Amino acid sequence: MIIIMNNLTKIKKLKIFFVAAEAAPFIKIGGLGEVMRSLPRAMKELGHDARLFIPKYAKIEADKFPMELEIGELDIAPNEKDPHGLLVSNVLKHLDKESGITAYFLENMEYYEKRANTYSYGDDTIRWVLLSKGALEFIRRSDWKPDVIIASDWQTGFIPNLIKTEFKDDSILSRIATIFVIHNLKFQGMFDPHFVPELEADSGQGPIPDFNDPHILKLNGARRGILYADIINTVSPTYAKEILTPEFGEKLEEILREKRDALYGTLNGIDNEKFNPETDADIPAHYSRSAPAGRYHNKIALQKSFGLPEDDKIFVMGFVNRLTEQKGVDLLKEIAPSLFDNLDFQLVIVGTGDTKYRTAFKELQEKYPARVADAVLIPSRFEPSGLVQMEAMRYGAIPIVRKTGGLADTVTDYYPGIDHGTGFVFEKYEPYAFLIAIVRAWQAYRNKKEWTGLVKRAMSQDFSWKKSAKDYVKLCYSAINKRQSDAPGE
């Protein structure tokens, strides 16, 4: 039931449909998977009917997540040539008893179940257009009709596009509001946007080609999501401002500036129940903000597991992230010799990524639990939101970060003697700015009283999903209002 109050749309119980390429606990490759686990649950706890739609990958454990057929023989492209029925799919359903979330899975043998990996196939664009069209066809045949679809990243940017074009006259789909969420604007399709000739770039204005048309592989899902969505959201307020500039806009800054009235930035959160130093089964010793001394037992365990000298007084820094240029690995690589020549500390680096970085740092064999180190390094060139710094602070690991994106929104710079700050922040993306921030942290660590206060302030920060979920509900209301205003005759 929709009620108009003071020109604002209020819905007692929203029906929200999340469509994404991955979602934990079913399948998780990166931060998107964790967001798709936590955000729908948080909105469900606020009283809304939040549901999820992802592909049914072969890696999803059937025994752990039993499914039942919801809709069979879903003909996703009835007007296209498909003699072997490769596009015909099923929709399965799983009800998570703990969270109450209903998850739907698009079952397709050719494009999902035969694939060993989630991403990185030459026909990925076809797979994601299939997911987008499958979600919409599912809605048309289902008894459950959402008020809002929240589509994440370029893989599902085709959903707002389809609703406003191919299905603009559909009595059901044309009424549904859309929110397109940009988790990382660098990824827009099966190409690097910086190396696409202007004449070959997808303007987003034309129709989505048939599945057997080779031009489908050149589609820019991010551009199309931005152009057609009712609301565009990014994963932090600062990143929402940054992507309006050439430095961060990835060649889409002009379009984003044109749509800035519909552009928002909502910070991601973390699961406080999962990441809880008082109950976490993955750490040897439990501790709390009021009694943080126990974390040093975990420090000894960390040193032991990596063959480092066991010393609870030495400063330990950790880098836990993808070994890519985005994450600022170049900065760490350049200053590491100077740090080791002049400071007494231990450094643990864990991550997968570019071979040149893995070779330089001699990649470690075991996964490093970042949350038990003294400090965690996040010198990112850009960081839309970032979860590592929030998880680290939850466990009292102090972040050393560059002032960009979600890092700028979550970490405040430390000032000695005045009980201020939750980490160490530097602005310019250059080695010596990063080096100075590390030296400041190393010096602060030597003052036990100051460091203990810093740890307690960091652990006091509230990055739970509850606030973020409330902000997303407001976005849903805005999207519905906009959808109604764009269709006055309805």
Taking only the tens place, the pLDDT of each residue in 343-373 is 988 988 877 766 665 555 554 334 333 334 7
Residues 11 and 52 in one domain: yes
Contact 426, 306 (CB under 8 A): no
Contact 253, 243 (CB under 8 A): yes
Neighbours of 122 (CB within 10 A): 8
User: Within a domain: residue 280?
Assistant: no
Residues 110 and 133 in one domain: yes
Residues 480 and 387 in one domain: no
Residues 398 and 249 in one domain: no
Q: Is 17 exposed, middle or buried (0-12, 13-18, 19+ CB in 10 A)?
A: buried
Contact 240, 451 (CB under 8 A): no
Q: Which letter does DSSP use for residue 113 in this model?
A: I
Rounded CA separation 223/322 (Å): 25
Owning domain of residue 33: 2-269+466-486
The pLDDT score that the predictor gives to residue 367 is: 36
Residues 238 and 155 in one domain: yes
Give this prediction's pTM.
Answer: 0.91
Q: Is the dihedral of CA 234, 237, 243, 247 positive or negative?
A: negative
Residues 317 and 249 in one domain: no
The pLDDT score that the predictor gives to residue 349 is: 82
Q: What angle do CA 17, 22, 24 make, to 5 degrees?
A: 90
CA 323 to chain centre: 17
Domain count, the chain: 2
The pLDDT score that the predictor gives to residue 323 is: 78
Q: Which residues of the chain have pLDDT under 70?
A: 1-11, 353-372, 487-490
Rounded CA separation 410/345 (Å): 26
Residues 243 and 343 in one domain: no
Residues 262 and 302 in one domain: no
Residues 409 and 261 in one domain: no
Residues 21 and 162 in one domain: yes
Residues 219 and 303 in one domain: no
Q: What string of H, E and C letters represents the secondary structure of 79-91?
A: CCCCCCCCCCEEE
The pLDDT score that the predictor gives to residue 78 is: 87
Report which residue type is found at 87: L
CATH number at residue 244: 3.40.50.2000
Residues 240 and 296 in one domain: no
Long-range contacts of 270-273, Cβ-Cβ distance < 8 Å, separation of 24 or more: 270/38, 270/387, 270/390, 270/391, 270/394, 270/463, 270/464, 270/465, 271/34, 271/37, 271/38, 271/465, 272/394, 272/463, 272/464
Rg (CA), the chain: 24
User: Within a domain: residue 274?
Assistant: no
